[in-house]
Amino acid sequence: MADSGRRPSGRPRHDFTPDRDPGLSRRRKEYAVIMGTCVVLILLAWNLVRLWSVPAAVVMSVVAALLAPTAVIVANRTKGD
């Protein structure tokens, strides 16, 4: 009977763990922090700050809108960047 190339566990014999990008978890954390800041800014701006100052709420929203693309850029950075 020919060898099927599989172990008794059912996994292929040549299974290996590909090298993960060592900065991936750091970038994910940075992304989460920046996007969390965006969410907090929006929630505070339109649920609390607008009661006292609509211009301040608008400024907070603009900052949050600028942080969102920044978070994407941070998350998609490569090693050479």
Q: How far apart are CA 48 and CA 54, in angstroms?
A: 10
Report if residue 42 sits inside a domain.
yes
Which distant-in-sequence residues (6+ apart) come within 8 Å of 71 by Cβ? 30, 31, 34, 35, 38
What is the number of domains present in the chain?
1
Q: How confident is the model at residue 4 (pLDDT cuts 50, 70, 90)?
A: low
Q: Is 46 among the domain residues?
A: yes
12 located within any domain: no
Does any domain span residue 9?
no
pLDDT (0 to 100) of residue 75: 87
Task: State which residues form the domain around 41.
Answer: 24-75
Q: Is residue 80 part of a domain?
A: no
Residue 71 placed within a domain: yes
Q: What is the pLDDT of residues 24-69, one digit of tens each?
A: 788 889 999 999 999 999 999 999 999 999 999 999 999 999 999 9
- 71 near 38, Cβ under 8 Å? yes
- The confidence score (pLDDT) of residue 44 equals 96
C-alpha angle with apex 71: 53 to 75, nearest 5 degrees? 170
User: What per-residue confidence (pLDDT) applies to 45?
Assistant: 96
